[in-house]
Copies of this chain bind each other. A is one copy, B any other.
């Protein structure tokens, strides 16, 4: 298991989440193509695959295998921990 914070520590993984937020249910190959063209991401298939594993272990990505394709889905629910752990407080007026 990987904690959500560590999963979010890498910018490539954050861009992957951005891309899945824009278009859910993508295969590894789709993601590679769209990340390269739309986000200027020059990562290899293996690199992205490993990032997806980390995201899945952190619960931020859910997957579903159909035939030889594996589809990836965004799951934002683990972000709730971050949203609630340090509640927004009124800024100290100086």
Contact = CB atoms under 8 A, between A and B. Distances in A.
B86 A17 contact: yes
Interface residues of A, number: 26
Contact of A14 (B5, B77, B88): B5
A91 interface: yes
Nearest to A8: B5
Contact of A8 (B21, B82, B88, B91): B82
Contacts of A38: none
Nearest to A4: B8
A92 interface: yes
A6 interface: yes
A1 interface: no
Closest 7 CB pairs of A and B: A9-B9, A5-B8, A76-B86, A6-B9, A5-B9, A82-B82, A76-B88
